[in-house]
Amino acid sequence: MRFGADVVLDEVDLTLRAGEVHSLMGENGAGKSTLIKAITGVIPMDAGQLRVEGRQVRFSTPAEAQRAGISTVYQEIDLLPNLSIAENIGLGRERRRAGMLDRRSMTQRAREVLADLGLDIDPGSILGSQPVSVQQLVAIARAISADVKILVLDEPTSSLDLDEVGELFRVIRELKSRGVAILFVSHFLDQVYEICDRITVLRDGIHVGEYRTDQLLRIELVQKMLGQEGATLRERDPAPVARPPADPVLSARGISVGRRVESADVELGSGEVLGIAGLRGSGRTVLARALTGVTRIDAGVIRIEQTEESLDSPRRAMSLGVVYASEDRRRDGIVAEMSVLDNITLGLQAERGSFRRIPPERRRELAASWVDALGIRPPDLDRPVGTLSGGNQQKVLLARLLALAPKILVLDEPTRGIDVGSKVEVQHLVRSMADNGVSVVFISAELEEVLNVGDRVAVVRDGRIVETVDARSTTIDGLLALVARPDEGDGGQVSHG
């Protein structure tokens, strides 16, 4: 399958078998969502074919896919919070009597479907008055109340707690035993290994392969997702544990944010680059946000230069010299319509307050020096940032942050989505910032990059920092083993089927 000018998916194969739970795995931007949308008729395919039970089909709307027996439960619960559960299950395919809704049969049908799934929920209650987990199960009830052959679940567990996940899995197994093919997309490896029979791995829109869960070790799966192949699998270099810096600029102890980050300790030395490695959903971004006042911490102590501080807003963090660059630079970082000049001086102006203007000549001079120093191309101060390449946009964002003369810079995936050349430049830039005394937290999904840029690397898994290793003497395989949890490496032992 191909999509438009930007090839999002390139010749990807996916086979779902009746009565089987199939997982689609891949890092951010691997093309999972796009593939789901193509299967369910939300977006058209450029090439390729789709067969349901051997018959070739083509969907141009979600309704057509539904009629062919493909139902989808999206990540965001796509139901109507203002209507009753019965209506949410039955609306759009309800029976009518003389143009009137047959409410009684609709409620009856909903009750049957819910009971079928072993759920004791009042079908007359308004959906929005129910907890998220119930809403999720109602979404599944709707999906299967039609004649469903294929059920697509896109990150169904992301907002559920452990018990609720158990409940969901029970329903999935029930459907599986009835011969429904289930496509289960989740970034929680534990869950994938618990519920799935097969795994298809995507990377950068390319089909890496299809594997049986019980024949694929977790570490192999992560390797395939991250594209660190060719390494020897069995031989694992023990990663040397790094000693924390003696005199940390930033010291965070026991940081917890809900269940997404649990009692994490971070120490950052002066002029040091601390890499953070972890899969998506491991808590790496939440941790970065917690350290910079973007997300409030529920527990823990943050010390900046030995003084305990409460970072309750990004503004407070900035006044202490702690600056955060979001992973989503288009949304949280640059202002695409504004010029390079304005984008670079934006942060400075904010720091000075709205009423003390920076003289225009001074602003230009300042911005020009950063454009020069960072090698922003083209070196045109008045160009809207949106017209620059991704790498140069990232440099503009870095220039803005550096103009604030930060002590601590937290960069969340600063090289994501930029070309290889710019990537190397940004990496060098980060190193030279550190050499000039700025302490940097560098988050990346690419293990190689984290090892190259970082002095030490903290590995985040399931919301915990599992180890902090010395970057220079750690190999990619060693790091990979930590990221993927080698201690339970054999998938076959964990899956219950």
Partner 1 sequence: MTATTLDRPVRTQEKPSMLKTFLSRNGSMMPTFAAILILILLFAGAEAFLRGDFITPRNISALLLDNAYLLVLAVGMTFVILTGGIDLSVGSVMAFTGILGARMLAEGAPVAVTVPTMLLGGAAIGLLIGILVQYFGVQPFIASLAGLFLGRGLAYIVSLSSIKVEEPAILWLQSTRMSFGGWYITPTGIIALSAVAIAAFVLHLTRFGRTIYAVGGNEQSARLMGLKVGRVKIAAYTISGFCAGLAGLILTAYSGAGYPRNGIGTELDAIAAVVIGGTLLIGGRGYVLGSMVGVFVYGTIKTIISFMGAEQSWMQIIVGALLLLFIVVQRAIVARSDGRR
Residue 259 sits in the site that holds partner 1 (CB under 8 A): no
Contact 196, 495 (CB under 8 A): yes
Residue closer to partner 1 (CB basis): 98 or 420:
98
Binding mask 69-88 for partner 1 (x = CB under 8 A): -----x--xxxxxxxx--x-
* Residue from 10, 46, 94, 237 in contact with partner 1 (CB under 8 A): 94
228 binds partner 1 (CB under 8 A): no
User: What's the rounded Cα separation, in Å, for the pair 265 and 246?
Assistant: 15
Report the distance separating Cα 39 and Cα 35, nearest Å.
6
Site membership for partner 1, residue 258 (CB under 8 A): no
Q: Across the strands, what pairs with 210? A: 200
Among 2, 10, 29, 62, binds partner 1 (CB under 8 A): 62
Site string for partner 1, 373-412 (x = CB under 8 A): ----------------------------------------
Instruction: Write out the E strands in 392-494.
Output: 408-412, 439-444, 456-461, 464-470
* Residues 204, 173 contacting (CB under 8 angstroms): no
Residues 22 and 197: beta-carbon distance below 8 Å: yes
Q: How far is the CB of 105 from partner 1 (least distance, A)?
A: 13
Which range binds partner 1 by CB under 8 A, 94-102, 231-239, 348-356, 377-385? 94-102
Q: Of residues 9, 27, 157, 169, which one binds partner 1 by CB under 8 A?
A: 169
Of the ranges 90-98, 222-230, 363-371, 394-402, which one interacts with partner 1 (CB under 8 A)? Answer: 90-98
Q: How far is the CB of 62 from partner 1 (least distance, A)?
A: 5
Strand, helix or coil at 472?
coil
Whichever of 64 and 470 has its CB closer to partner 1, that residue is 64
H-helix or E-strand spanning residue 152: strand 150-154
Neighbouring CB atoms inside 10 A of 419's CB total 12
**126 belongs to the binding site for partner 1 (CB under 8 A):** yes
Interface with partner 1, residue 246, by CB under 8 A: no
The answer, yes or no, to whether the previous bond of 378 is cis (omega within 30 of 0) is: yes
CA 223 to chain centre: 17
Least distance in Å: CB of 92 to partner 1?
Answer: 4
Strand duo 456-461 + 464-470: pairing: antiparallel
User: Minimum distance between the CB of residue 145 and partner 1, rounded to whole angstroms?
Assistant: 12
Nearer to partner 1, 102 or 265 (CB): 102
d(CA 318, CA 311) in angstroms, rounded, equals 9
Residue 420 lies near partner 1 (rule: CB under 8 A): no
CB of 100 to partner 1, least distance (A): 5
Q: Which of 4, 54, 99, 230 binds partner 1 (CB under 8 A)?
A: 99
Nearer residue to partner 1 within complex by CB, 63 or 241: 63
- Nearest CA to 439 among 162, 155, 248? 248
Relative to beta strand 21-25, strand 181-185 is parallel
**Residues 106-138 as b or e (16 or more Cβ within 10 Å = b):** bbebbbebbeebebebebeeebeebeebbbbbb
Q: Comparing C-alpha atoms, which of 225, 248, 244 is closest to residue 27?
A: 225
Residue 125 vs 310, nearer CB to partner 1:
125
112 near partner 1, rule: CB under 8 A = no
Report residue 425 CA to chain centroid gap. 25
Assess 20 for contact with partner 1 (CB under 8 A): no
Q: Which of residues 137-166 bind partner 1 (CB under 8 A)?
A: 142, 162, 165-166
493 binds partner 1 (CB under 8 A): no
Distance between CA atoms of residues 393 and 377, nearest Å: 10
With binding defined as CB under 8 A, does residue 101 bind partner 1? yes
Chosen residue from 27, 154, 167, 462 binding partner 1 by CB under 8 A: 167
Residue 93 or 253 having the CB closest to partner 1: 93
Residue from 173, 253, 280, 316 touching partner 1 (CB under 8 A): that is 173
57 near partner 1, rule: CB under 8 A: no
Long-range own/partner contacts, residues 346-349 (CB < 8 A, 24 or more apart) = 346/400, 347/400, 347/401, 347/403, 347/404, 348/400, 348/403, 348/404
Contact (CB, 8 A) for 260 and 235: no
Interacting span for partner 1 (CB under 8 A) from 89-97, 230-238, 306-314, 440-448: 89-97
Q: Per rule CB under 8 A, is residue 17 in the interface with partner 1?
A: no
Which residue, 30 or 175, is less far from partner 1 as judged by CB? 175
Using the rule CB under 8 A, which residue among 17, 58, 96, 212 binds partner 1? 96
Give the sign of the dihedral formed by CA 404, CA 407, CA 410, CA 413. Answer: positive
Q: Which residues bind partner 1 (CB under 8 A)?
A: 62-63, 66, 74, 77-84, 87, 91-94, 96, 99-101, 103, 118-122, 124-126, 128-132, 135, 142, 162, 165-167, 169-170, 173-174, 177, 194, 496-497
